[in-house]
Structure 1
Amino acid sequence: MNIGLLWHTPNSDNLGVSALAIANLIIINEVLTEKNITNITYDFIGTSGQKSLSIVDELSKDLNCNINVVRYSLKDLLFRKLTLKSTDLFSKYSYVFDIGEGDSFTDLYGFKRLLNMTVSKMHVINSKTRLILSPQTIGPFDTKVGKLLSDFCMRKAYKIFVRDDLSSKYLQSRNIEHDLTTDVAFHLPFKKLDNKFENVTVGLNVSGLLYSGGYNQNNQFGLKINYKEFTERLIERLKFEGVNIKLIPHVTPNHLPLENDFVISNELANKYNLAKPILYNTPIEAKTDMSQLDFVIAARMHAAIGAFSSGVPVIPISYSRKFKGVFGSLGYDFVQDPKINNSDEIIESIVNIIKNTNAREMVPKSLKLANVKINDYRNTLSELVNVNEYKK
C-alpha cells in the first residue's frame, strides 16, 4: 500500500513540524498494521528539511516499512509541465494525508503559502486519490480568495480533522463537515528521564521570531509586551526566585537568523550565565530532555506540547489562537496571552503558577483527555480505511 503524507517534514528545523510528521506517521501505521496490511510505503511530501534524514531511517526500521522523502513545490511542478514530464504525482497513493505543516492552511502567511497549500490539495483531488486533512489548525481566512480556495479544497476532501475549537467553529460557520480531535504531537514517543535537579528547574523556550519582533521586526503579532524586554525580565525574576533555567530552542533555521531560537538562546546564556542550550536534532530528543524538568515556559506551541505530553506542566506564551485552541480544548487554563496582558501581569502569573500545585495537578487530567482524543482519531481512521479498496 502506498500512502502519501503531504506537508509532513520529518527533518524540519522547526521541531514542531517534525513532531507532527513523525507522530502522524506512527498513528497511521498503527491503524494499518492492526488491519494486517503489510508492505506499506510512506512518502513524506513537501518542503525539504534542513536537518539530518537519519530519523527517516530510524522510523523505517522501527515501523518495518518503506519511507521516502519527496519534494513538492509549485516551481518544481511548473518545471515538470514545461519539460513535458508527468505531473501525475498522487494517483499511485491509496490515501493522501495532508497535515498542512500544522497551521499553514490559512492566508495569514501570505498568498504564496496559501497557493502552495491549496494547489497541492487540488492536485490530489484531480488524481482521484482520497484526501484526508489530518488534525491541524485551519484558518483564519480573511481574504475572499482565501475563503474561495479553501472552501473548494475542503468540500472535496474525503475527511477533515481539526485540532482546536477555533478551527472547528470556523468550519461550522462554513457548513463544512469535520471531526474535532487534538494535536497528534501528543503521541510523539520519548524516553522519560528522572528529575535529578536539586532546585526547581524550569525549561525556557524563547521564540527567536517573537524576540525579533516578527518577520517585519515591528511587533508583527500585535503583542502588548516588548517580548525581548519581557524575556530578559522573566529570566531575572526567575533567578531572583532561586529557579534554575534551562534554555530549550525548538526552531533553529540557519538560513533565517531572525527566527532562530538557538541563536537567541545562546545570547541569553552568555548574558545571564546560563547553561549553553542544546541543538536538538529531532523533536524526540527535545521531548526526552524536557521530560526531566519541573516546568516549561514556551513561546513555541510544540515545545509546550512536547513538555506537556511528557508529563511536565507548561506555561505557554500565546501569540496565536492555536495555543488557546489546543490547550483550552483539554481544559488546561494556564496559557498566558501577551495580546491582552502586560509584562508585569504575565511574569507575576508565571511565578505564582510555578509556586502553586494547580498546574501539576491538572496535567494528568488534561493528558488523559488528549489520549482519548488521539484514540478517537485513530478509531475514525480505522473506519475510513477500506482494506478491500486500496491501490496495490
Structure 2
Amino acid sequence: MKILLNHIPNTLNYGSSMMAENLVYYLSKELGENTAFVCDSKSDEDLQRIKESTNIKELSVDRLAGTEIPGRSALSKLVNYRRFLVEKVRKYENMGIVGMIVLGGDDLSEYYAGSRIALELVRLRVFSKYMRVFLAGQTVGPFSSWRVPLARRMLRDCIVYTRDTLTKHYLLKDLRLKKVYESRDLAWLDLPMQNDKNIEDSILAKYDLRPNEYIVLVPSGFAGQFTKNWARYNLRWLDIVNGLGTLESLAKKKIILLGHVVQSDINDDRNVIRHIVNQSEVSSRQRIIPIFDEMLPVEARMILGNGYFTITGRMHAAVSTSQMGKPAISLSYSVKYKGVLGEGLGMKDLIIEARGDDLWESGKIVILVMDKVEYVLSNYDSLVSRIRPAVEENKKLTMTQIEDIANKLKEKSYR
C-alpha cells in the first residue's frame, strides 16, 4: 500500500517532524510491512531524518510536489488549476497511491497560510473526489469572509481528525462538515526512539545536563506572530532571561536556550538565541547554555522533558515538555494553544496570550512571564500531578485516530 504524505517539507521544524515520525511509525505498524509513503519533503536530507528517526525505509520524496501550475498570467493559472490538479491525481493513481494524509497542525489557517489557503482548499477538494484524503491532527480555521463558504465546500469530502475540541465544534457547527472526528496532536505519542535510554543519556551528557537541574527557554524566531517590533521582541526575551537570573529559587539551575525550528531563515529560533547570548548580563552568562546544533526531534524532546520546566513561544516544545510530565509556560499567538494545551491538556493556567505590540513594547510580557514562573514554582507538584493523566488520555485519542485511518485505508472501495 502506497500513501501520499503531505505538509512535512521541513524536518528542522521539530514539531512538524514529530508529527510525521509518529504517523509513519505507528501507521506502518497498523498496516504492515508493505506500507510505503511518498512524502513532500523538500530534500532527500529531510527524508533521511525521518528514516533515521523511525527506522522505516519505505519512504520516498514526492517528485510531483511543487510542480508549477501552467499559465503565464494569474488568470490563466487559475483557469488551468483544476485541470492541472486532476492530471496530477491521475499520475499519483498510476504510481499506486491509494490515499493522501495531510498532517496537522495549523497549515489550514489564515494566520499561517494567508491568501494561499484558497489554493490549498481547492487542491484538497480535487484530491478528495478521487481518493481518500485524511486531515490528521488538525487545527482548521477559523476562517473569515469568503473563505468560510469556500472551506465548507472544499472540505466536505475530506476525513478530518481534529487535535482539540474547539476545532471539532467549529467544523461541525460553523462549517457543517460531516466527516469530523475528535482526536489529538500526533506529537502526544511517544516518539519512535523515545524510550532508548542511550539516546537520552547521550544528548544530556553532550551539554552537561542533569535532570531537573536546568530550565529550558524556546524563544520563537517567528517574531511577526507576536509583534511588528522585532527589536523589542528580541529585547524582551533578553529581559526574561535576565529576570530568571535574579530569582533565588532558580539560582542553582542552568538556563538552556533551545531552538525548536532551526531552518536557517528569518524565522529560525537561533536568531533570537544569538541575540540573548550576545546581550545577556555578565552575571547570567555562566549559567546560560545556548544550543545551536541541529538534532533529531527525539533529542530535543529529551532536553525539554528532563528540564525542571519550559518557557516557550513554540507550541510543540510545550507538547514535548508536557508529554514527559513537566510544566511548560506557553506564549500564545493563536487559537491552537487554547485548543491543544488549554482544553486538551487542561493547562489554561500556563498559557500567556502574548500577541500584541503593546505587550512587547511596554515590557508587560516580561511581567506576565515572571508571574507565571512564580506560579509554576509555587504549584509545581500539583501541576505535574495534573499533567500526567491528561497526557495519557491524549495518547489514547491520538492512537485511535491512527487506527481509524488504517481501517479506512484497508477498505477496498472508496465510494
**Which of the five TM-score ranges fits, normalised by the shorter chain?**
0.7 to 0.9
Match of 1:108 in 2: 111
SS in 2 for 1:322: helix
Which residue, 67, 76, 96 being the options, matches 2:100?
96
Match of 2:74 in 1: none
Match of 1:269 in 2: 277
Change (3 A) 1:252 1:73: same
CA offsets, 1:115-174, max 9 Å, x none?
A: 442233134124x11111111110021131x223322222122x2111122211211222
Is 1:48 aligned with 2:42? Answer: yes
Change (3 A) 1:301 1:352: same
TM-score (norm 2): 0.79
Change (3 A) 1:284 1:198: closer
C-alpha separation between the residues in 2 aligned to 1:71 and 1:317? 37
Match of 2:154 in 1: 153
SS in 1 for 2:325: coil
Contact 1:311 1:364 in 2 (8 A): yes
Q: Which amino acid aligns with 2:11?
A: S
SS in 2 for 1:12: coil
C-alpha separation between the residues in 2 aligned to 1:207 and 1:131? 31
Change (3 A) 1:232 1:59: closer
Match of 1:14 in 2: 13
**Superposition deviation, residue 41 in structure 1:** 1.5
Moved more, 312-321 or 11-20: 11-20
CA offsets, 1:334-374, max 9 Å, x none?
A: 22222598422332122221343222222212211111212
Contact 2:226 2:355 in 1 (8 A): no
SS in 2 for 1:97: strand
Change (3 A) 1:268 1:132: same
Runs of 5+ in structure 1 lacking a partner? 220-225
* Identity between Structure 1 and Structure 2 (%): 21
Match of 2:354 in 1: 338
Contact 2:215 2:310 in 1 (8 A): yes
Change (3 A) 1:248 1:59: closer
SS in 1 for 2:188: helix
Aligned pairs (5 A) from 1:279-358: 279-327=293-341, 328-333=343-348, 334-339=350-355, 342-343=364-365, 344-357=367-380, 358=382
Cα RMSD (Å) of the superposition? 3.1
Match of 1:32 in 2: 31
Aligned pairs (5 A) from 1:50-65: 52-58=46-52, 62-63=55-56, 65=57
Contact 1:137 1:164 in 2 (8 A): yes
C-alpha separation between the residues in 2 aligned to 1:112 and 1:198? 44
Contact 1:205 1:247 in 2 (8 A): yes
Match of 2:228 in 1: 217
Runs of 5+ in structure 2 lacking a partner? 72-76
CA offsets, 1:247-268, max 9 Å, x none?
A: 11011232x32x1111211221
Match of 2:240 in 1: 234
C-alpha separation between the residues in 2 aligned to 1:5 and 1:139? 21
Q: Which amino acid aligns with 1:347?
A: M
Which residue, 385, 394, 401 being the options, matches 1:377?
401
Contact 2:304 2:310 in 1 (8 A): yes
Match of 2:221 in 1: 208
Is 1:365 aligned with 2:389? Answer: yes
C-alpha separation between the residues in 1 aligned to 2:156 and 2:136? 15
Contact 1:12 1:50 in 2 (8 A): no
C-alpha separation between the residues in 2 aligned to 1:199 and 1:165? 32
Q: Which amino acid aligns with 2:220?
A: S
Match of 2:61 in 1: 69
Greater helix content: 2
CA offsets, 1:73-92, max 9 Å, x none?
A: 5652438989x995334323
Moved more, 113-122 or 326-335: 113-122
Runs of 4 or more above 6 Å deviation: 79-82
SS in 2 for 1:269: helix
C-alpha separation between the residues in 1 aligned to 2:325 and 2:132? 36
C-alpha separation between the residues in 2 aligned to 1:370 and 1:264? 32
SS in 2 for 1:231: helix
C-alpha separation between the residues in 2 aligned to 1:6 and 1:298? 26
**Superposition deviation, residue 284 in structure 1:** 2.0
Contact 1:209 1:261 in 2 (8 A): yes
TM-score (norm 1): 0.83
**Superposition deviation, residue 181 in structure 1:** 0.8
C-alpha separation between the residues in 1 aligned to 2:410 and 2:334? 37
**Superposition deviation, residue 20 in structure 1:** 1.6
Q: Which amino acid aligns with 1:103?
A: D
Moved more, 186-195 or 376-385: 186-195
Aligned pairs (5 A) from 1:98-177: 98-99=102-103, 101-126=104-129, 128-144=130-146, 146-157=147-158, 159-173=159-173, 174-177=175-178
